[in-house]
Structure 1
Amino acid sequence: MFNRLFAKPRQETDALTTLDKLNETLEMLEKKEKVLVKKAAAEVEKAKVAAQGGKKKVAIQCLKKKKLYEQQIEQLGNFQLRIHDQMIMLEGAKATTETVDALRTGAAAMKAVQKAMNVDDVDKTMDEINEQTENMKQIQEALSTPIGAVADFDEDELEAELEELESAELEEQLLQPATSAPAAPVQVPAGRQPARPAAQKRTEEEEEEEDELAALQKEMAL
């Protein structure tokens, strides 16, 4: 059990430790390579000086040392390539491991969900929802049913009465006289305008006021 719990962190720690070690080794090889390059360049300069001084054997010895340094430089270059290769492979393996672990975690989570919610539980839940919906529908129908005096009214009689009212209203509209067309305007010839404007028609309110005034005067005379 403890191996399962600590396996993944230990693997990640080992991978990080290995990468750090490879980086340190790579830096060390690069430093050595720079030193050897400087030494090889120095031997070349020595060989030039010896050749100019007529010291042929000394110049050849310097060139031999330069060759040895170059061989070491080439060897260090191969070491660096191998370390780079190891680092790339290790990083790829680390990414692969993380991907597999993520997929494994997802599969375990999906399995747990399926185990917690099987088909029988889903069917049972849907049956409960349908039952609650049916109960709510029955409650709404019971609340909307008329009670008391309203329940005694006959819907057919009310509809028949409404039809009679609509028929009577339609008949009344048909019997109303059509509105008279407006009178055509009278054209007055030019130069013969009436001397005075025609008297305006009295309104109904004025006629009622005059009738009331006449009735009041008659009562006062009596």
Structure 2
Amino acid sequence: MFTRIFGKPKQETNAVSTLDKLNETLEMLEKKEKVLQKKASAEVEKAKEFTKGKNKRAAIQCLKRKRLYEQQIEQLGNFQLRIHDQMIMLEAAKATTETVDALRTGAAAMKSMQKETNIDDVDKTMDEINEQTENMKQIQEALATPIGAAADFDEDELEAELEELESFELEEELLQPATAAPAAPVHVPTPAARQPVRPAPQKRTAEEEIADLQAELAL
């Protein structure tokens, strides 16, 4: 439907060239309007001069020509208004065509993507991901399962042994004294109270004892 209304991309190019042509025509009409305005102003000045010279007939002719110029100026103004209206319509149609073309391109891209990836492919991919996840979970559980001698250990016995160790450590903590007994004070005598130190008797040798015994026998 949009193709019938706005035409094909080739017609869009024609619309651009038409806008350029309308712009050129509008500039030409504006130039003619300025020229006619100058001529109308000139006729007014002439009419003033003829009025000063008491030439009423010539002054009226100038005013008639001024009216003709003003009619042409008004006609050119209407032409410019028509061209502006046509340019606005063409620009709106061009913008609409570009919008429709962009939407058509987006729809085609989405359709192509849907062909490449349909719902069945998505479901299949999700199933594969779930299967791989489950396999990985089973592998991790298998690796975490103890084997060999470790698998023969009784968990209940290990827990009972652990509780016994914890009770033993608690008893040792309770039996330890809270603080160490204070050491007995050491009494240091003052210099005045010190007693004279007697020399320790020297130990006599065996020869000296025999000599003393012989002396006693001689007596």
Name the TM-score, length of structure 2 as normaliser: 0.75
Inter-partner Cα distance in structure 1 for 2:39 and 2:127:
88
* Contact 2:40–2:65 (8 Å) recurs in 1: yes
Cα RMSD after superposing both structures: 2.3
Indicate whether 1:108 and 2:131 are aligned.
Answer: no
Distance, in Å, in 1 between the alignment partners of 2:70 and 2:93 is 35
Q: How do 1:57-206 and structure 2 match up within 5 A?
A: 57-179=57-179
Measure, in 2, the Cα distance between the counterparts of 1:179 and 1:8: 104
Rounded to whole Å, the distance in 1 between the matches of 2:42 and 2:13 is 44
Larger RCO, structure (CA 8 Å, separation 6 or more): 2
Distance 2:79 2:92 in 1: 20
Query: Which structure's CA Rg is the greater one?
Result: 2
Shift of 1:72: 0.1
Find the aligned partners of 1:88 and 1:119 in 2 and give their Cα distance.
Answer: 46
1:30 counterpart residue number: 30
Task: Kindly state the Cα deviation for residue 154 of structure 1 after the two structures are TM-superposed.
Answer: 2.5
Question: Hey, what's the Cα distance between the residues in 2 that align with 1:25 and 1:134?
Answer: 76
Q: Does 1:13 align with 2:5?
A: no
Percentage of identical aligned residues? 83
Structure-1 separation of matches of 2:178 and 2:131: 64
Letter in 1 for 2:172: E
CA distance in 1, matches of 2:23, 2:134: 71
Q: Which amino acid aligns with 1:164?
A: E
Residues 61-106 of structure 1 show CA distances to partners (whole Å, capped at 9, x for unaligned) of 1110000000000000000011111111111111111112222222
Q: Distance in 2 between matches of 1:103 and 1:76?
A: 40
Deviation at 1:8, TM superposition (A): 4.5
Distance 1:71 1:10 in 2: 40
Farther off after superposition, 92-101 or 172-181: 172-181
Q: Which moved more, 1:169-178 or 1:78-87?
A: 169-178
Offset of residue 115 of structure 1? 2.8
Q: What secondary structure does 1:177 align onto?
A: coil
SS at 1:146 equivalent: coil
Q: What whole-Å deviation, never above 9, does each CA across 1:138-161 have from its counterpart, x for those lacking one?
A: 111122222333333332222211
Could you tell me how far 1:181 is from its partner in structure 2? 9.8
In the TM superposition, residue 180 of structure 1 has moved relative to its aligned partner by: 6.8
Q: CA deviation at 1:48?
A: 1.0
Q: How many residues align?
A: 180
CA distance in 1, matches of 2:178, 2:132: 62
Q: Contact 2:12–2:97 (CA<8 Å) still a contact in 1? A: no
Describe the SS at the equivalent of 1:17.
Answer: helix
Equivalent residue letter for 1:120? D
What's the CA shift string for 1:81-139, capped at 9, x where partnerless? 11111111111111111112222222222222233322222211111001000111111
Matched AA of 1:146: P
Distance (Å, rounded) in 1 between the aligned partners of 2:179 and 2:169: 19
- Secondary structure (helix, strand or coil) at the match of 1:160 reads helix
Counterpart CA distance in 2 for 1:144 and 1:11 is 72
User: In the alignment, what sits opposite 1:45?
Assistant: 45
